[in-house]
Amino acid sequence: MKVLVTVKRVIDYNVKVRVKSDNTDVDLTNVKMAMNPFCEIAVEEAVRLKESGVASEVVVVSLGPQAAQEQIRTALALGADRGILVQSDETLESLHVAKLLAKVIEQEQPGLVITGKQAIDSDNNQTGQMLAALTGMAQGTFASEVKIEGDKALVTREVDGGLQTVELAMPALVTTDLRLNEPRYASLPNIMKAKKKPMATTTPEELGVTIKAHTEVLRVDTPEERQAGIKVASVDELVEKLKNEAKVI
Amino acid sequence: MATLIIAEHDNSTLKAATLHAVTAAQQVGGDIDVLVAGSACQAAAEEAAKVAGVSKVLVADNAVYANQLAENVAKLIAEVGAGYSHIMATSTPETKNVLPRAAALLDVGQISDILRVDSADTFGRPIYAGNAIATVKALDAIKVITVRSTAFEPAAAEGGSAAVEAVAAAHDAGLSTFVSDEVAQSDRPELTSAKIIVSGGRGMGNGENFAMLDSVADKLGAAVGASRAAVDAGFVPNDMQVGQTGKIVAPDLYVAVGISGAIQHLAGMKDSKVIVAINKDDEAPIFQVADYGLVADLFEAVPELDSKL
C-alpha cells in the first residue's frame, strides 16, 4: 500500500511573529521556517507504517514556494521515499490545497493519506477534511492511533471528553493529533541520502486547478496586549481576590 | 439572509457549546435556524427550539446520524445548508471534523474560529496561535464559519419557541462505522471546554507532584493542564499540553503553577479571563500577563491553597 503524506512549510513554532507595520500580514522576512509540527507527526506515522511492513512506499507532497523543497527533503531524510512539490507563490487557501492534493491523489492512487490536523500559521484545521470530501474518502481526524486491518483502517480520535474509535473503508484519510507519536530526528547519513531521493515538481496549472479566492484578508493586527496585574502577598489574599474581586471561584 | 446553526448534542440533550454560535449568528443578522442531526434526537431538538433567537429547528432523525459521522452529516449539511447565506457552528472537535467537509462539498471556503463579527461577511480570527488577528472577508455566497466559544457569550437557553420541522434526507456514505467510545476516566472537564484550568510546568519537578494540582482541580471543578516543558520532561502525557502546539484554551480562570511563561505557552492561554501565576522566580515572564501573581514556593503555596478552598 502506498501512503501519501502532506507537509507544510511554516514559521518555526519557537518564533514570535510580528505584524507588519502596514497591517497587511505578519512579517516573514528572515524568519526561521520549519516543517509544521503536526506534519512531522504525519511523516513519522507514515514511516512507521513502512517499517512495520504495512506501507510499501511513502510519498511526501508539499504545496508552496520553491523553498518548500527543504521541508520535503526533511521528510525524505526521515524515511519518505520520494517527494512532489506543487509550486505556487500565491496564497493558497485550504480549499485550494485540497483541490490540488485531490489531483495528486488521482495520479498517485494511495491507499492512505495522512495530513496534520492543522498548520500553526493559518490555524484553520480544514484541509484534511476538505480533501476527504473532494476525493470521497472516509476521514479519521485528530487521530491518536491508527491501525490498518486488511482493507479497513481503525482510527482512534481525540474528541471532547475522551476517545472515539471509527472504522474507515480504504482508501482513507487521517489527520494527526499530538498524541499519535513522537517524531524522530533525521540522522546526518539520512540527510545525505535524502539528497539523492527523487523529487518531482508540478504547478497548479499543470494539475488543471484554477485558484479562485474564497476569502480576502483585509488586515492583520497585533492582539491587544494583556496588562500585568498585581502581586498578592499570601495564599489567603489570592483566594480572597479570586472570590470577591475576580469572582471566578 | 439566514443562518443555519449546526447543533451539538448527544441525542438527548443540546450541548451548551451550541449557544455561543447562536449569539454570533445574532450579530450577523437575519433568521436563525438550527439543524439537529442525530438518532432519536427529538429531546435535543426540543431544547434547541427553546433557545432565544431561534426561528426554526430542523431535525434529521435517522440511524445514519447516530454517531455524527462526518461522512454522513457533511452531506446533510451541504444539502440543507445550500439554501442559507451562513452556516455556523461553535468550534469544537465535532464541528471541526464535519464543517470543512461540508464546505468542500458546497465548493466554498471556511473561516475558522472567529472572535468577532464585523459585518455579515467580515470577521476577525486569530492566526499564528493568537499572535496576530486577521480581519477576513468571506467572498463565497455561502459563508461557512466556526465560532470560538470564549469570544461570544452563550445565548439564553430558554425563552424561544421555534417550530420543529423534520428533515427526511438520509445520507449514508457507507464509508465509516462507529466502533467505540472511550470516555475519559476523570470526572474533570475537558481542557478545551473547562471553565477553570490548573496547569503545571517544569517547576512541578516530577509527575507524582501533579497529584497536588489534581486535588486543587477537584475542589474547583477544574481541568489540569501542563506546559510543553512538563510534557517534554515526561511528567505528564502530551494531551495535557496547553500552548501553540498543544491545546488553545481560554477559561474563566487559569492557574499557572511553576510555569515560566514561554511564548509558546502564553499563545495557548493568554485569552483566559483571569490568570493566576504561582512561581518562586519573581522575574518569570508569566507575571507580565498574570492578573494575580504569587511569588512563592509552589510546594508550600499549592497545599495551602488546597486547604483553603
- Residue-wise pLDDT tens digits, B46-75: 999 999 999 999 999 999 999 999 999 999
Taking an 8 Å cut-off on Cβ atoms, the answer to whether B94 and A160 are in contact is yes
Taking an 8 Å cut-off on Cβ atoms, the answer to whether B294 and A238 are in contact is yes
How high is the pLDDT of residue A149? 95
How high is the pLDDT of residue B192? 79
Closest Cβ–Cβ partner in B133, B239, B292 for A232: B292
Residue B134 CB burial class (10 angstroms; 0-12, 13-18, ≥19): buried
Closest Cβ–Cβ partner in B109, B239, B304 for A158: B239
In angstroms, rounded to a whole number, what is the distance separating the alpha carbons of residues B184 and B20?
A: 25
Mutate to test the interface with A, among B114, B144, B241, B245 (most CBs of A within 10 A): B245
What is the enclosing helix (H) or strand (E) of B22?
helix B17-28
How high is the pLDDT of residue B239? 76
Cell of A70: 527543504
- Is 70 exceeded by the pLDDT of residue B186? no
Cα–Cα distances (Å) from B133 to A156, A223, B123, B150, in that order, read 33, 6, 10, 15
Say what angle helices B70-81 and B93-105 make with each other, to 10 degrees. Answer: 60
Neighbouring-strand partners of residue A199: A83
Write the single-letter amino acid at B26.
Q
How high is the pLDDT of residue B152? 92
In angstroms, rounded to a whole number, what is the distance separating the alpha carbons of residues B135 and B144?
A: 16
- Is 90 exceeded by the pLDDT of residue A249? no
The average pLDDT across A171-197 equals 95
In angstroms, rounded to a whole number, what is the distance separating the alpha carbons of residues A160 and B190?
A: 6
What is the enclosing helix (H) or strand (E) of B21?
helix B17-28
ipTM over the 0.90 cut-off: yes
Taking an 8 Å cut-off on Cβ atoms, the answer to whether B292 and A223 are in contact is no
The average pLDDT across B135-155 equals 94
- The answer for residues whose C-beta is within 8 angstroms of residue A55's C-beta and 6 or more apart is A1, A2, A3, A46, A49, A111, A112
Work out the percent of chain A whose per-residue pLDDT is above 70. 100
In angstroms, rounded to a whole number, what is the distance separating the alpha carbons of residues B45 and B160?
A: 12
Query: Which pLDDT tens digit goes with each residue over A201-239?
Result: 999 999 999 999 999 999 999 998 888 799 999 999 999
Cell of A82: 520520494
Instruction: Specify whether the CB–CB gap between A141 and B94 falls below 8 A.
Output: no
State the smallest CA–CA distance between residue A38 and chain B in angstroms. 8
Residue numbers in A near B293 (CB within 8 A) = 229-232
Query: Which pLDDT tens digit goes with each residue over B229-250?
Result: 998 888 988 778 898 777 888 8
State the smallest CA–CA distance between residue A111 and chain B in angstroms. 14
**Rounded mean pLDDT of chain A?**
95
Query: Which pLDDT tens digit goes with each residue over B245-275?
Result: 778 888 999 999 999 998 879 988 988 999 9
Q: Which residues of B184-199 are buried (b: 16+ CB within 10 A; e: fewer)?
A: eeeebbbbbbbebbbb
- Is 90 exceeded by the pLDDT of residue A122? yes
Note the residue count of chain A: 249
How large is the C-alpha radius of gyration of chain A?
Answer: 21
How high is the pLDDT of residue A155? 98
Greatest C-alpha distance within chain B: 62
- The answer for residues whose C-beta is within 8 angstroms of residue B53's C-beta and 6 or more apart is B22, B25, B26, B32, B155, B156, B160
Taking an 8 Å cut-off on Cβ atoms, the answer to whether B294 and A234 are in contact is yes
Q: Which residues of A36-71 are buried (b: 16+ CB within 10 A; e: fewer)?
A: bbbbbbbbbbbbbbbeeebbebbbbbbbbeeebbeb
State the smallest CA–CA distance between residue A196 and chain B in angstroms. 32
Work out the percent of chain B whose per-residue pLDDT is above 90. 82
Kindly indicate the confidence band of residue B129, based on its pLDDT and cuts at 50, 70 and 90. confident
Taking an 8 Å cut-off on Cβ atoms, the answer to whether B246 and A178 are in contact is yes
How high is the pLDDT of residue B184? 65
State the smallest CA–CA distance between residue B275 and chain A in angstroms. 9
The average pLDDT across B19-43 equals 97
How high is the pLDDT of residue B228? 87
- Which pTM does this prediction carry? 0.91
How high is the pLDDT of residue B268? 87
Closest Cβ–Cβ partner in A16, A129, A222 for B70: A129
In angstroms, rounded to a whole number, what is the distance separating the alpha carbons of residues B244 and B270?
A: 11
Taking an 8 Å cut-off on Cβ atoms, the answer to whether B190 and A167 are in contact is no
